[in-house]
Amino acid sequence: DGGITQSPKYLFRKEGQNVTLSCEQNLNHDAMYWYRQDPGQGLRLIYYSQIVNDFQKGDIAEGYSVSREKKESFPLTVTSAQKNPTAFYLCASSIQGWNEQFFGPGTRLTVL
Amino acid sequence: AQSVSQHNHHVILSEAASLELGCNYSYGGTVNLFWYVQYPGQHLQLLLKYFSGDPLVKGIKGFEAEFIKSKFSFNLRKPSVQWSDTAEYFCAVNAGTGRRALTFGSGTRLQVQP
């Protein structure tokens, strides 16, 4: 089946630790995105990538980092510099930047 | 920067009532508009989209939306809601700027009572 997978579904992290969230897509989409979802705030864009080996900061990139070494993969690292990392993280992809986005199931990160 | 406003944060309706959720955006140029829905425990999925042409667009599950350029609005409607429509609804805009990514509204939580 074609789609977007995110792992793990739940993730717990101690303060001061970096953690990496996985996102893989087999839709052959060029563009990939990371959003953060908090109650009452909708989805906020963290990073996006329109093509392999290129990515841009979104609205709330501070404390996060990404890489795009392969078309199908766009991992997100939440670093210890992120002051409030507890949230639901959504990965998405689209054929191109102007088109509709398809979303993965999300990863819920909790900082203990 | 572009922004999207959804003024209804929480809506409670009885089954068979009509629904209209407001969405306004701030960008004055060419836009692509979307409504997404997030059912409890499920992926975010596309309800409908507008790129060009007829400003009244129809989506899945009986939903429709009307693009009114003069009002910078893209309101979502459904004539008769069902309990299964209980979900969170997000409006999103992709404006004709260099940034090729969606800007989302804060979402509207719809609760339909049987």
| pLDDT tens series, chain A, 112 aa | 569 999 999 999 998 899 999 999 999 999 999 999 998 888 999 999 999 999 999 999 999 999 999 999 999 999 988 889 999 999 999 997 678 899 999 999 999 8
Cα→Cα distances A10→A108, A109, B73, Å: 5, 6, 37
pLDDT higher than threshold 70 for residue B28: yes
A98 → closest Cβ in B94, B106, B107: B94
A97 → closest Cβ in B4, B100, B106: B100
Cα(A55)–Cα(A68) distance, integer angstroms? 7
pLDDT higher than threshold 70 for residue B98: no
Which residues are A24's β-sheet partners? Answer: A5, A73
Instruction: Supply the pLDDT for residue B97.
Output: 63
Question: Is A97's CB within 8 Å of B46's CB?
Answer: no
Q: Which residues of B touch A44 (CB under 8 A)?
A: 104
CA distance B80 to chain A (A): 25
Of A62, A67, A112, A72, which Cα lies nearest the Cα of A93? A72
A52 touching B (Cβ < 8 Å): no
Question: Is B9's CB within 8 Å of A58's CB?
Answer: no
Q: Is the peptide bond before B114 cis (omega within 30 degrees of 0)?
A: no
Nearest CA in chain B to A38: B106
Q: Which of B9, B50, B104, B108 to mutate to test the interface with A (most CBs of A within 10 A)?
A: B104
Q: Which residues of A touch B106 (CB under 8 A)?
A: 40-42
Q: pLDDT grade, residue B96 (50/70/90)?
A: low
Largest CA distance in chain A: 38
Instruction: Supply the pLDDT for residue B49.
Output: 95
The H or E element spanning position B95 is: strand B87-95
Unique residue bearing structure tokens 């939440």: A78
Cα(B19)–Cα(B9) distance, integer angstroms? 14
Instruction: Supply the pLDDT for residue A99.
Output: 81
A105 → closest Cβ in B34, B36, B43: B43
CA distance A92 to chain B (A): 10
Instruction: Please provide the average confidence, as pLDDT, over all residues in chain B.
Output: 93
Token pair recorded at residue A12: 């717990």
B29 phi/psi in degrees, rounded to 5: -95, -155
